Structure 1
Amino acid sequence: MEEYITRFSTYLFWDVNKDDLDMEKHSQYIIKRVLEYGMLQDWNIVKQYYGLGRIVEIAKGFRELEPRALAYLSAISQTPKEQFRCYTYQRSNPQHWNF
């Protein structure tokens, strides 16, 4: 498990100690961070460890997710955006007017 953590880009977990990360206990944090800030090599590491199906199931529960990350994940997994909580939550939460 630790070999996966050390293979991630160095900047990806700037706010935590990488030695304290556990691929199972912190799966939501790791997946979200890679989807929003990771490079292709980071995505490949996450996909190799968790598998696309598990990533999608975990991501469906995210309250927020960067729109590009959502579009990418939706496209490669062929999962409609409407099945992701972050998409429906964003649509039901009215935003301030942009003047």
Structure 2
Amino acid sequence: MEIIPQFLHPFLWDTNVSSLSLTKHYTYIIERILEYGDQKAIEWMNSNFTKDQITTTLSTSKKISPKTGALMSIMYNIPRENLQCFRKPFTQKQNRF
């Protein structure tokens, strides 16, 4: 199993990092690095995952914030309308109070 470097552990704080696999859990790891990572973490991500894995995760993830999506759409040259984080949610907000 691949070892995830120590400097990435703060971004995966709620997970047993030793049980993560780069091949099985790449979506989760990429989401966390995109949302919470720093420059060093993003460089590590770019060298350990394919561009297709990163752009697919970025396009389909509902866990990425619009703020992160805006920056990453520029970095990875993906039109904003292709990102799930900019789509209107299916459920309506209910203002009951």
When the two structures are superposed, what TM-score results if normalisation uses the length of structure 2?
A: 0.81
The aligned length equals: 95
Corresponding residue of 1:63: 62
Structure 1 runs, 4 residues or longer, greater than 4 Å off = 92-97
Aligned mates of 2:77, 2:94 — CA distance in 1: 31
RMSD of aligned residue pairs (Cα, Å): 2.0
Report the CA distance between 1:70 and its aligned residue: 0.5
Aligned mates of 1:46, 1:85 — CA distance in 2: 20
CA gap of 1:64–1:13, structure 2 versus 1, over 3 A, is closer
Unaligned segments of structure 1, at least 5 residues: none
Report the CA distance between 1:7 and its aligned residue: 4.7
Corresponding residue of 2:10: 11
Deviates more, 1:31-40 or 1:61-70: 61-70
Report the CA distance between 1:87 and its aligned residue: 1.2
